[in-house]
Structure 1
Amino acid sequence: MPSPCDPRYAPVGDVDGALMVIDSRLKAVHDGRTGTDTEQQQLFDQLVASLDLKGVRDLLDGACTLVFMFMKWLRRVHEEHDRDVIEYVVPSLVATLRMMPRSVSPEAIPTMAGMAIAAGTGLSPNLWRRQYGDWTQEEMTALEATALLLAEHINRITGDADFATRLIGDALNRADREPGAGAAEAAGEGFGPGWGEGVE
């Protein structure tokens, strides 16, 4: 009997919008900016302000899809090295979130850990989260940070500052070319051994 958190039942959401936010944050980090770029923040604020309730939910679902796709790729890479992605990725994710008290409230961290574990075991993070009611404002910020940290983790493993963004873009393109194939199913496909050589 399939799990109610099976990814096939999950809404994909606005992956493009979520990816735009994460890519913007990654570029800010690599440009050496310690704070949020004012222009980028204004664009983000305008995006959020333009969304209705459905748009906000779609953006959250899109961010959850990113978490799922990143964890799926990380799981494949770690399995190539006979390692458990949950053991090697989730503790460092939690530790980093704890070092971000101005952006991520301590109360939101267990939920982010649960979502990453759900994704790492092949479950939909947004359906897993849905069991516990509506999103809180603190969780929304923490979700963005979680997707950002997973993307940066992938970029460090591959030694390529744009790899995580390209991973999602390629998966979306494959999903468009192959009717019936979802973006989440396409994530991580086509990247053989060698991409995980940086796993420590």
Structure 2
Amino acid sequence: MSSPCDPQYAPAGDVGAALMMIDSRLKAIYDGRTETDPEQQQLIDQFTASLGPRGVHDLLDGACTLIFMFMKWLQMAYEEHGKDVIEYVVPNLVATMRMMPRSVRPEAIPTMAGLLVAAGTGLSPSLWRKQYGDWTKDEMNPLEVTAFLLAEHINRLTDDRDFATRLITKAMSSADQD
């Protein structure tokens, strides 16, 4: 029996824009910049402001698609070693988010954990979230942080700072060819 949250019913959104934002944050951290560069933040703010309501929804759906794809890859990687992705990834990411109170408000953490569990059980994070209403402004940073932490987790596992970005880029390229 198919779920209404099955990924086949979910819009992919603007995966490219979401990946660009995550990759930009990864590069900043890897370059040793722990604070967001004000100029870079201004560019990101201008970019998101230029999107308009439809574009913002596409960006949110794109971030959820990234979360789903990252969790799918992690699920395969952990299952290869007889481990459960939810057991190993979700508590780690929740603990990390709890240490980031300026970026992730405590009340957003359960929603982000839910997105991870939804993706880890094969459900679309965006359709799962949609059941509970529209995204809130307070969930924007936590959503970006969630996708960022998953990408960084993948990069650490593979000992390759660009692996997560390449993973998505290759998947997008092969989807375009099909």
- Sort the TM-score into its range (normalised by shorter chain): over 0.9
The AA in structure 1 aligned to 2:32 is: G
Matched residue, 2:156: 156
Q: Which residues in structure 2 correspond to 1:91-130 (within 5 Å)?
A: 91-130=91-130
Distance 2:171 2:34 in 1: 30
Q: Which residues in structure 2 correspond to 1:61-100 (within 5 Å)?
A: 61-100=61-100
Which segments of 5 or more consecutive residues in structure 1 lack a partner in the other structure? 179-200
Q: Normalized against structure 2, the TM-score is what?
A: 0.99
Deviation at 1:42, TM superposition (A): 1.7
Q: Which residues in structure 2 correspond to 1:2-41 (within 5 Å)?
A: 2-41=2-41
Deviation at 1:37, TM superposition (A): 1.5
Distance 1:159 1:100 in 2: 24
Distance 1:90 1:126 in 2: 17
Deviation at 1:46, TM superposition (A): 1.1
Deviation at 1:43, TM superposition (A): 1.5
Distance 1:175 1:141 in 2: 28
Which deviations, in whole Å up to 9, do the C-alpha atoms of 1:156-195 show, x marking residues without a partner?
Answer: 00000000000000000000111xxxxxxxxxxxxxxxxx
Where do 4+ consecutive residues of structure 1 move more than 3 Å? none
Which deviations, in whole Å up to 9, do the C-alpha atoms of 1:6-44 show, x marking residues without a partner?
Answer: 000000000010001000000000000010022221210
RMSD (Å) for aligned C-alpha atoms: 0.6
SS at 1:33 equivalent: coil
Deviation at 1:125, TM superposition (A): 0.3
Relative to its length, the structure with more helix (as a share) is 2
SS at 1:51 equivalent: helix
- Sequence identity percentage: 73
Q: Normalized against structure 1, the TM-score is what?
A: 0.88
Matched residue, 2:166: 166
- The total of aligned residue pairs comes to 178
Distance 2:75 2:88 in 1: 10
The AA in structure 1 aligned to 2:21 is: V
Deviation at 1:137, TM superposition (A): 0.9
Distance 2:23 2:44 in 1: 12
Which deviations, in whole Å up to 9, do the C-alpha atoms of 1:54-105 show, x marking residues without a partner?
Answer: 1100000000000000000000000000100000000000000000000100
Deviation at 1:114, TM superposition (A): 0.4
Distance 2:62 2:40 in 1: 19
The AA in structure 2 aligned to 1:55 is: G
Distance 1:113 1:126 in 2: 13
